[in-house]
Structure 1
Amino acid sequence: MKMHQSLGQGKNLFTGYGEGHVLINAQRHDGNLIVSGDEIVSWAAPDFPNLAAEHFEVLLAYQPEVVLFGSGKSQRFVHPKLYAALTQAGIGIECMDTQAACRTFNILLAEDRRVIAALLAI
């Protein structure tokens, strides 16, 4: 699926996604990712059943207002104990499928929100 880009240069925007990948500014990225407006890095998170608290604790370094957790092809909810460090720091977390996380990220970034997407591959 292709998505419409609505922000100016210099920000990471999701421009598409497909089986096993996302497009950020028309560049293909595979695997699990952490994406902010300024940075794209591989996320060392395993598959959904093997997620642990330390996988979410690394997100604290980005100092976001909100984390969009993309759980893959379908929406799955992470147990609150896994993201307790985020909650204790006053950071919101939303769980959604990875495609919805990509679309929501673009909207929040356009509103100048401090948002990161932590994505499991589709």
Structure 2
Amino acid sequence: MRIDSERGAGPIITGFSAGGFKVEAGSFKGVYRALTISPEAVAEWTPPPIETLDAAALGAVLATEPRAEFLLLGTGATLQRPPPAFTRELEAQGIGVEAMDSRAAARAWAVLRGEGRWVIGAFYPL
């Protein structure tokens, strides 16, 4: 699937498939099997099993300034609920958690960034 969004909104997810997520960030173009993404950066991610996910697994994406409104958590091919302790941990930092399958998260990223929303994402592979 191809996704189009406004330029200048930071890293843009331009498509996704079972092979990974296609991302454009300025002159950089790459494919990531799993990734973390913020309005300013994208990084390859080696996620833990969803049932053991904690804030430490997200690394630098949580340190984005200003603080993100919420995390788009793409949980892979299907929706899986993250551990309640993970959600509480992020909410204690003032960051909400929106879990959805990774396809929906990639589409939501494009829409929310097109609106100028300050969100972060972590997407498990499809």
Alpha-carbon distance in 1 for matches of 2:103, 2:51: 19
Q: Which residue, out of 19, 43, 47, partners 1:45? A: 47
Q: Give the percent of matched residue pairs that are identical in Structure 1 and Structure 2.
A: 28
Unaligned runs of 5+ in 1: none
With normalisation by structure 2, the TM-score equals: 0.83
Give the secondary-structure state (helix, strand or coil) at the position aligned to 1:117.
Answer: strand
With normalisation by structure 1, the TM-score equals: 0.85
Q: Which residue, out of 101, 106, 111, partners 1:102? A: 106
Unaligned runs of 5+ in 2: none
Q: Residue 9 of structure 1: CA displacement?
A: 3.6
Tell me whether 66-75 or 76-85 shows the greater mean CA deviation: 76-85
Distance 1:97 1:33, change over 3 A: same
Report runs of 4+ in structure 1 exceeding 3 Å deviation. Answer: 56-59
Tell me whether 111-120 or 59-68 shows the greater mean CA deviation: 59-68
Aligned partners of 1:2 and 1:17 also within 8 Å = yes
User: 2:57 — aligned with what?
Assistant: 55
Give the secondary-structure state (helix, strand or coil) at the position aligned to 1:94.
Answer: strand
Aligned residues between the structures: 121
Give the secondary-structure state (helix, strand or coil) at the position aligned to 2:120.
Answer: strand
Alpha-carbon distance in 2 for matches of 1:119, 1:15: 14
